[in-house]
Amino acid sequence: MSVRGVTRAAVARVRATLLGWLSSVGAVVDAVAAWWIERVLCSPAYLTASVSVQKTVGSIRDWRVWPVLAEWIRAVARAVWRVVGPPVRDAVGWLRHRAPGVVWRGLCWLARRVPRWIWRATFYAFVGAWWVLSRTVRWASGHASYAGLVRQMDDDQRHGTAKRLREEWARMAALRSVLVLIVAVVVALVVTGVANKIGTVTAAVIVSGVFALVGRVIRSTPAGDDHGPEVIVHSGPDEPFPIADAHTRAEAADAVARALRTEGVDLRMVGEAVRQGWGWEVPVILRRGTPSQVVDKLAALETTLDLPAGGAMASPDRTRRARVVIRLAERDPFTGLSAAPSRPALPLVSRSITARLHVGSVITGEPLALGLLGVHGVVIGDTGSGKSSTLCTLADAVTDCADATVWDLDPAGTGLDVLADSIERSERTRAGIEDALADALALAEVRPHLLREMGMAGREWVPSPEHPAVVVFVDEYPRLSNAAKEMAVDILRIGRKARVSLLLASTEATSDTLGDAIADTTALKILHACRHADVRLVLGPSMLGEGWRPDRLNPASADSPEDAGCGYVYAPHYRDPVLSKFRPVSDEDTAERARQRAPHRPRVDAVSWEAARKRRHSNESGFTPGKSGRHRAALALPSPRSGEPAPLDRMAVADVLAAFGDDERVWTVDLLARLAGRHERYAEWTPEDLADALRPLGLSPAQIRQDGRNRQGYHRQAVSDALSRSERG
């Protein structure tokens, strides 16, 4: 067969093969299209969905359904965001903080290696091209198949056979050469067509890449490349890193795990981290040991994770001993906590002492709501820790209750003067404080016996605007007299059922200042920045290892508030060591609220007062020294007209001064009418009762001339001066 015939046959074979492939592909496409039309486009489900979409689109044209549709979209969006929100925030954090560094390191890595790669690719491309060319020529020439046989026939003197092999060799070489030529032409046409589509440079790069791949396969290492293997030095697998470098939940959990293992804590696992506005919450599960192992390492964790002082906190889970929640505060968690508004949204004095009162915020973002009904409390904190502000915040909340009254006792400072208009009784002197505590103790003793008479079910006093609870705030408790301290301890023991509560504040909790019984009888314990020993005395020796670490807080300094107002609260509903902050108070706004509430504030009911007066009188009459003998004399308060000297009733004197108003002198009958209007306690008072109340001040009624008539009465300045002399004495 001639060369032309061989060429035509080869071309016909290639064409037939290509046409067969195209026919097969066309048949597959037709089958898929037919299946799609039959099974999908014509299916009942698709038709039903199409009708629903058309109806929905038609209804959307009606503007009245737009709000409903918007609510649906908003609800769906919120549900979707709850699921995809954390991963999206992680991705955004990675893109903002990690991606630029990764890209830069990648660019540097490429800049170091691209020249070497180009040289290697060029070398491999030449090697591959030479190998393809040489292999093609050797195959087309048939040298490997016939050269050895022809040489052997010539050596054996078999010239006829050698000639026949040479002719066969020539025909085979011609056929292979034609095939190679055809393939070369086809490849050249394909490459040219691709180059026209994608560009000559791109096509050249692709062809070079193919040849380089061939060259890389046949020769893994180019000649003359004596570079040794590259060594990349990494940090250790458990090397800790700052928490500020953690921008996803997985990175935060990894940072905590590395830091704890570095500090020698044996972990079973680290739970899923939770991103907060101030930092991270990361739960960890211990393999062995106690939560105190984590609590004791908090200071070291702050260094390892590069946190601010006091930024690491640990809260063991009371329901699962091995679980500890670690909170890492990179910034102040209470930045957004604002003071109470001067004009509250609710009506004045509309709350109840029976409900929990919102007084601050917890680091978890939940409101700090404390129940103060019949609850005694103690506030411990160094100077500048914010304990007086905490008392003011609590008193501000109580004065907004329609069924509770506030007494303010402070032997060393100004107490709750900012709330003076809403406070029923305020004492600053030793005698006044002892008298107030004696009245509170008498109320605590008599109220349980009045329950049936007052129509109250149960064994506890039921507060109401007519029969309010009494909350006594005592600041600087260590500076009280011994008699006052003994009465305070008695109130702590018996005042709960009578709803007579004490809230005490002290700078320290040692046994000689606060007393051993205080910490055991108070259900509410607030610890601001204080000493290590105070935590043991107030909460117990084991609570430090449970995460109660107010000793790591810092009181305010001259130029910085530090952790003032922050503390740990141990109370019902708050048994975990979680940092809290009490709502700051503004003197101007607080005073304005007190003035607005003053006309609506309740006062101790007359029935309780009269019973308390009788109890104080009976205590004096039946006085016998005993366990509480030193303060029984302070409880004595004879009834009017008993003929016995009575101690000063400072609350009554304060009401008398308030009843004067702007008048300098008032007749007794008018003064009694004004007192009866202020409180029902004075509704049945006679001129003799008023004289008995003012007699301890050395006052007696005098003749007062008004409108041409003389009557018995009192001068306001005389009462005020006598009260001042009594307080100085």
Q: How high is the pLDDT of residue 140?
A: 79
Instruction: Give the CATH number for residue 662.
Output: 1.10.10
Of 445 and 145, more confident: 445
- Residue 390 belongs to some domain of the structure: yes
Instruction: Give the CATH number for residue 556.
Output: 3.40.50.300
- CA nearest neighbour of 605 among 701, 498, 719, 519: 498
- Compute CA distances 143 → 139, 140, 147, 150, whole Å: 7, 8, 5, 10
- CA nearest neighbour of 724 among 429, 371, 288: 429
Residues 403 and 461 occupy one common structural domain: yes
Q: pLDDT tens digits, residue range 661-699?
A: 888 889 888 888 888 887 777 888 888 888 888 888 888
Q: How high is the pLDDT of residue 392?
A: 94
Residues 276 and 188 occupy one common structural domain: no
- Residue 31 belongs to some domain of the structure: yes
CA–CA separation, 550 vs 528, rounded Å? 6
Residues 142 and 38 occupy one common structural domain: no
Residues 54 and 86 occupy one common structural domain: no
CA–CA separation, 596 vs 604, rounded Å? 20
Residues 51 and 107 occupy one common structural domain: no
Expressed as residue numbers, the domain containing 596 is 374-606
Of 710 and 80, more confident: 80
Query: What is the arithmetic mean of pLDDT over 429-444?
Result: 92
Q: pLDDT tens digits, residue range 341-367?
A: 655 555 667 889 999 999 999 998 899
Residues 558 and 412 occupy one common structural domain: yes
- Residue 706 belongs to some domain of the structure: yes
- Residue 496 belongs to some domain of the structure: yes
CB 368 within 8 A of CB 359: yes
Structure tokens at 287: 């393999």
Q: How high is the pLDDT of residue 92?
A: 83
Tell whether the model's pLDDT for residue 399 goes beyond 70.
Answer: yes
Of 700 and 708, more confident: 700
Q: pLDDT tens digits, residue range 25-67?
A: 888 888 888 887 777 777 777 777 777 777 766 665 555 566 7
State the helix-helix crossing angle for 716-728 and 430-446, rounded to 10 degrees. 100
- CA nearest neighbour of 294 among 304, 308, 284: 284
Of 410 and 211, more confident: 410
Residues 53 and 89 occupy one common structural domain: no
Instruction: Give the CATH number for residue 256.
Output: 3.30.1360
- Number of neighbours of residue 1 by Cβ within 10 angstroms: 10
- Residue 358 belongs to some domain of the structure: no
Residue list for the binding site: 381-388
Residues 201 and 299 occupy one common structural domain: no
Task: Work out the pLDDT band at 225, boundaries 50, 70, 90.
Answer: very low
Residue list for the binding site for ATP: 381-388
Q: pLDDT tens digits, residue range 585-600?
A: 888 889 988 998 988 8
Q: What is the number of structural domains in the chain?
A: 5
Residues 499 and 543 occupy one common structural domain: yes
Residues 257 and 290 occupy one common structural domain: yes
Residues 270 and 418 occupy one common structural domain: no
Task: Work out the pLDDT band at 614, boundaries 50, 70, 90.
Answer: confident
The helix or strand, by DSSP H or E, that contains position 283, with its residue range, turns out to be strand 279-286
- Residue 562 belongs to some domain of the structure: yes
- Residue 627 belongs to some domain of the structure: no
Instruction: Name the phi and psi angles at 23, rounded to 5.
Output: -65, -40
Tell whether the model's pLDDT for residue 105 goes beyond 50.
Answer: yes
Query: For the chain, give me the number of helices (H) and strands (E)?
Result: 22, 18
Buried b (16+ CB within 10 A) or exposed e, 469-496: bbbbbbbbbbbbbebbbbbbbbbbeebb
Q: How high is the pLDDT of residue 647?
A: 63
Q: How high is the pLDDT of residue 640?
A: 43
Compute the half-sphere exposure of residue 217: CA atoms within 13 Å on the CB side of its CA: 9
- Compute CA distances 139 → 1, 3, 126, whole Å: 21, 18, 20
CB 316 within 8 A of CB 547: yes
CB 41 within 8 A of CB 50: no
Name residue 401's beta-bridge partners: 351
What share of the chain in percent tops pLDDT 90? 28
Query: What is the arithmetic mean of pLDDT over 567-571?
Result: 95
Tell whether the model's pLDDT for residue 231 goes beyond 70.
Answer: no
Tell whether the model's pLDDT for residue 454 goes beyond 80.
Answer: yes
- Residue 255 belongs to some domain of the structure: yes
Q: How high is the pLDDT of residue 201?
A: 81
CA–CA separation, 689 vs 682, rounded Å? 9
Q: How high is the pLDDT of residue 642?
A: 42
CA–CA separation, 709 vs 661, rounded Å? 21
Task: Name the least confident of 179-183, 316-320, 504-508.
Answer: 179-183
Task: Work out the pLDDT band at 259, boundaries 50, 70, 90.
Answer: very high
Residues 49 and 104 occupy one common structural domain: no
